[in-house]
Amino acid sequence: MVIIIFKMEVLAPKREEFLQTVPVILSKAAREPGCLIHNMGQDLEGENSFIVVQAWQNQAKLDAYWCSDRFGIFMGTFHLLKNKPTLEIHAVSFTSGMEAVNAARSRVKLMDTKSQQKNSQRSVK
Residues 104 and 79 in one domain: no
pLDDT of residue 115: 61
Instruction: Check whether residue 50 and residue 33 sit in a common domain.
Output: yes
Order of all β-strands in the sheet with 35-42: 35-42, 49-56, 2-9, 86-91
Q: What is the pLDDT along the chain (125 residues), one digit of tens a residue?
A: 999 999 999 999 999 999 999 998 888 888 899 999 999 999 887 899 999 999 999 999 999 999 999 899 999 999 999 999 999 999 998 888 888 888 888 877 656 665 666 656 666 55
**What pLDDT is attached to residue 113?**
60
Task: State whether 86 and 103 are in the same domain.
Answer: no
Q: List the domain range (segments joined by +) for residue 32.
A: 2-94
